[in-house]
Chains A and B, each alone.
Chain A
Amino acid sequence: KAGVTQTPRYLIKTRGQQVTLSCSPISGHRSVSWYQQTPGQGLQFLFEYFSETQRNKGNFPGRFSGRQFSNSRSEMNVSTLELGDSALYLCASSRLQQRGTEAFFGQGTRLTVV
């Protein structure tokens, strides 16, 4: 069974540009969550999607957005990039059939903003 796949693995963008990251969950998983990982702030929750609906959003500015498609694949978009957006962006998927279900993570996308 394929794991969570995130593309691209690495990305370099210039301040002011926008970027789209992609996440393909494990087959059968309908919940996709996104996390931002930085050395200073650690791992922070961005948002969670289930059946194409955003159910929860973390404390991030509106420049951060996402969506989920009918096949459960998800994208996140960051507009007007800032230097502080440089981070590892992790995607996690789960079945969510019951509370406490394990989340499976992808290898992340390393975004560098210059």
Chain B
Amino acid sequence: AQTVTQSQPEMSVQEAETVTLSCTYDTSENNYYLFWYKQPPSRQMILVIRQEAYKQQNATENRFSVNFQKAAKSFSLKISDSQLGDTAMYFCAFMKHLGGSEKLVFGKGTKLTVNP
């Protein structure tokens, strides 16, 4: 079964600094997709970044980038120049394919606090 593990329940960082959130996963699939979602206090899950497993290049989106290590099944998120608005729960997710459909398998999340 696919599992996603986020080993850091809570983290904090000073504004303008860099922080890395860890995620490991387990799968027997070769081609798959990984995501980082952000859930602020407003509760709405927002996609931060997406990685396709067959692409060796790490995905980047402005201040957000990933370190994708396929062999190690590791998918960490780096947030550069942290801003107060980055304070949120961050969920790592694996997209599992079920016949013709897909579902997201989420980790337990990391609560990130950005301090002024």
A99 touches B97 (CB 8 A): yes
B43 touches A48 (CB 8 A): no
**Chain B interface, DSSP helix/strand/loop, else mixed:** strand
Nearest residue in B to A110 (C-beta to C-beta)? Answer: B43
Interface set, chain A 24-62, CB cutoff 8 A to B = 31, 33, 35, 42-43, 45, 48, 50, 55-56, 58
Contacts of A42 in B (CB 8 A): 106-109
A96 touches B106 (CB 8 A): no
User: In the complex, A107→B43 CA distance in Å?
Assistant: 6
Contacts of A84 in B (CB 8 A): none
Contacts of A103 in B (CB 8 A): 47, 104
Please, how many residues of chain B have a CB less than 8 angstroms from a CB on the other chain? Answer: 27
Q: How large is the interface on A (under 10, 10 to 19, 20 to 34, 35 or more residues)?
A: 20 to 34
User: In the complex, A99→B42 CA distance in Å?
Assistant: 28
A45 touches B105 (CB 8 A): yes
A105 touches B44 (CB 8 A): yes
User: In the complex, A105→B99 CA distance in Å?
Assistant: 22
The number of residue pairs between A and B whose CB atoms lie closer than 8 Å in the complex comes to: 63
The interface centre, meaning the residue of B44, B46, B100 with most chain A CB atoms within 10 A of its CB, is B44
A100 touches B103 (CB 8 A): no
Interface set, chain B 83-109, CB cutoff 8 A to A = 91, 95, 97-109
B101 touches A90 (CB 8 A): no
* B52 close to A (CB within 8 Å): yes
Given contacts A42-B107, A102-B50, contact A55 B100 (CB under 8 A): yes
Given contacts A42-B108, A42-B109, contact A88 B43 (CB under 8 A): yes
A107 touches B101 (CB 8 A): no
Nearest residue in A to B50 (C-beta to C-beta)? Answer: A102
Contacts of A66 in B (CB 8 A): none
User: In the complex, A50→B102 CA distance in Å?
Assistant: 11
Contacts of B13 in A (CB 8 A): none
